[in-house]
Amino acid sequence: MERPLTRNIRPGAAPLDLVSYQRAGGYEALRSTIGKIAPAAVITTIAESGLGGRGGGGFSTGRKWQAMPSSAERPGPRYFIINGDEMEPGTFKDRLLLEGDPHQVLEGLVLSAYAVQANHGIIFIRGEYAEAIRRMERVVAEAHAAGLLGNNILGSGFNLAVDVHASAGRYICGEETAMLNALEGKRAIPRAKPPLPQTSGLFGHPTVINNVETVCNIPHIIGRGVEWYRSLGLNGEAGTKVFGVSGRVNRPGSYELPMGTPMRDLIDEHGGGMRAGFSLRALLPGGASTGFLLAEDLDIPMSVSGFAKRGHRLGTGTAIVLDDRTCPVAFIHNLQHFFAQESCGWCAPCRDGLPWVEQTLNAIEIGDGTQADIELLSEMTGHLSPGRTFCALAPGAMASLQTGLAYFREDFEQHIGRSCAWH
């Protein structure tokens, strides 16, 4: 099984420097493309590859790039931003890629920026990822010295300046329009769409924002072709993805697997199954903003379309396992605590609704809850649904609560009038 994204990553070992990265075939895709293949052709290749956004949305990367106005239509600065603000609870795939193979991220950035003719690249990294920031800064300097960045890259006439930006914090910065505000020095609150960033992005200029993992796919698609890339996936999907699993499994961690791999393989085969004495009760398949799946759902192929068919969201593809010895109410309360704290405070239902949800869950957990509280929670999942809040934060928070209320109703009701039986 091919693992293009993580092929250079060895656990515990330092990432490849420029020399060893190039020895391993790095920057070949860049050298064969830049100044030799028209940017529009690169976009077409990516569109045909079937690559979708790896940050959780799954939107076609090629189509996202095609929405950029041409340089003739919109002269002036253009930006390509890599979203490395990985703050989704339970998600640690971008960290692996940033720390493990930073040159791969950079090569993907140069190719992507070339495709959309952006002359300014920004790598926006979660502030707590200090090691990732250091390593990215180091490879940017290396690549610059080697003429792989800066003006007239490899004699192609294409210029690209790259900045590594350490986030000042806040989960909402991972929302792409809030990230734009953060980069502009404003409060990190989401912007209304439309306009899309492609037409009015950073400082009002055309901008593309892609996830770290998405960008890491680009050199491989360019270097080895669409046919090869499409053949990597299972069940009609294209490429591979860095999946992950945490919770009480034997081998929690990140695993690069073909898109479309059944979830059961991730848990049982790669994750090593549940630890002795624990059994799987449910899992959040793609971070804290996705809804629960139950044990009987484990055969769903892990892909955006595979999940959508069953009414679920793949999210970031990094699963959090709920075992049978953990209180689901406390589990959900912990998630809601995170979301209530990370609400940016811009829109009323999220800002004032999530703390209410969080406090109600806490009351239920400590035995102060009532039946009416459970009804209130159920009501709130409707009020904080997509379209009713300004961005996707609160609806994402409600995914676990809504499915949790459906799947663990008995557990909630057992808490009424008495404290948590799990403690």
Partner 1 sequence: MALTFIADGRPIHATPEQNLLSACLAAQLDIPYFCWHPAMGAVGSCRQCAVKVFSGPADIKGQIVMACMTKPTPGLRISVDDAEAAVFREAVVEMVLTNHPHDCPVCEVGGECHLQDMTALTGHHRRRYHFPKRTHLNQNLGPFIRHEMNRCIGCYRCVRFYRDYAGGDDFGVFGANRNIYFGRAEDGPLESNFAANLVEVCPTGVFVDKPFSANFRRKWDLRATPSICPHCAVGCNITVHERSGAVRRVTNRYNETLNGYFLCDRGRFGAGFLNSPARLRDVRERSGGSLIPAAARSRLAAILAEGNVIGIGSSRASVESNFVLRTVVGDTNFFGGLSAFDAAALRTSLAIMRRIRPPTLKDIEQADAFLLLGDDPALVAPRLALALRQAARGSHRGNTNPFMTATSAPGWLGSVARRVDGSQQAAASVDGTAAAVLFAAKRPLIVAGGEPALLAAAANLVLALRRQGVSAQLSLLLPEANSIGLGLLDSRDLGTAALAAAGRHVIVLERDITREPAIAAEILATAKSVIVLDHITTPSVMNADLAIAVASFAESDGIFVNLEGRVQSFFKGVLADNAPPSWELLRDAGIDAGRLPAGQWQTHAALLGSLAASIPELAPCQAAWPIKPMSRPATLPHRSSGRTAATAHLDVREPMPPQHDDSPLGATMEGPSTALPWAPGWNSVQVLQRAPSLSAPDIFLFEDRFPTEIDIPDHSAPDDRRLGVEELSSLSPAIIAYRQAAAK
- The residues pairing with 320 across neighbouring beta strands, listed in sequence order, are 246, 284
Q: Give strand ranges (E) for 7-142.
A: 79-84, 120-125
61-63-64 Cα angle (round to 5) = 65
CA distance 322 to 90: 12
Please report, as residue ranges, which positions from 153 to 192 form the binding site for partner 1 (by CB under 8 A). Answer: 170, 187, 192
Q: 307 or 346, CB closer to partner 1?
A: 346
- The residues pairing with 293 across neighbouring beta strands, listed in sequence order, are 283
The stretch near partner 1 (CB under 8 A) out of 32-40, 153-161, 251-259, 387-395 is: 387-395
Which residue among 229, 346, 408, 412 contacts partner 1 (CB under 8 A)?
Answer: 346
CA distance 198 to 187: 21
Q: How far is the CB of 348 from partner 1 (least distance, A)?
A: 5
For residues 272, 276, 278, 281, the Cα torsion angle rounded to the nearest 10 degrees is 30
Please report, as residue ranges, which positions from 245 to 264 form the binding site for partner 1 (by CB under 8 A). Answer: none
DSSP class of residue 273?
S
Nearest Cα neighbor of 366 from 423, 312, 317, 328 is 423
343 scored as a contact of partner 1 (CB under 8 A)? yes
Q: 187 or 309, CB closer to partner 1?
A: 187
Which residue among 92, 228, 278, 356 contacts partner 1 (CB under 8 A)?
Answer: 356
Q: 193 or 418, CB closer to partner 1?
A: 193
Q: Environment class of residue 1 by beta-carbon count within 10 Å: exposed (0-12), middle (13-18) or buried (19+)? A: exposed
Q: What's the one-letter identity of residue 29? A: A
338 scored as a contact of partner 1 (CB under 8 A)? no
Which residue among 131, 324, 352, 413 contacts partner 1 (CB under 8 A)?
Answer: 352
Q: How many residues bind partner 1 (CB under 8 A)?
A: 30
Q: What's the one-letter identity of residue 283? A: L
CA distance 219 to 196: 26
Q: How far is the CB of 192 from partner 1 (least distance, A)?
A: 6
Q: How far is the CB of 335 from partner 1 (least distance, A)?
A: 15
The stretch near partner 1 (CB under 8 A) out of 69-77, 243-251, 283-291, 340-348 is: 340-348
Q: How far is the CB of 345 from partner 1 (least distance, A)?
A: 4
CA distance 243 to 255: 5
Please report, as residue ranges, which positions from 187 to 226 form the binding site for partner 1 (by CB under 8 A). Answer: 187, 192
353 scored as a contact of partner 1 (CB under 8 A)? yes
Q: 54 or 170, CB closer to partner 1?
A: 170
Count of C-beta atoms within a 10 Å radius of residue 144: 16
CA distance 379 to 219: 47
The stretch near partner 1 (CB under 8 A) out of 107-115, 220-228, 315-323, 376-384 is: 376-384
Q: How far is the CB of 388 from partner 1 (least distance, A)?
A: 6
Which residue among 70, 159, 341, 419 contacts partner 1 (CB under 8 A)?
Answer: 341
- The residues pairing with 287 across neighbouring beta strands, listed in sequence order, are 285
Would you give the end-to-end CA distance of the chain in angstroms? 44
Q: 140 or 347, CB closer to partner 1?
A: 347
Return all residues near 178 (Cβ < 8 A) that are at least 6 apart.
170, 172, 188, 189, 190, 191, 344, 391
Please report, as residue ranges, which positions from 288 to 307 form the binding site for partner 1 (by CB under 8 A). Answer: none
The stretch near partner 1 (CB under 8 A) out of 117-125, 286-294, 315-323, 358-366 is: 358-366
388 scored as a contact of partner 1 (CB under 8 A)? yes
Element holding 345 (H helix, E strand): none
Interface residues with partner 1 (CB under 8 A) are 170, 187, 192, 340-349, 351-356, 359-360, 363, 372, 376, 379, 383, 387-390
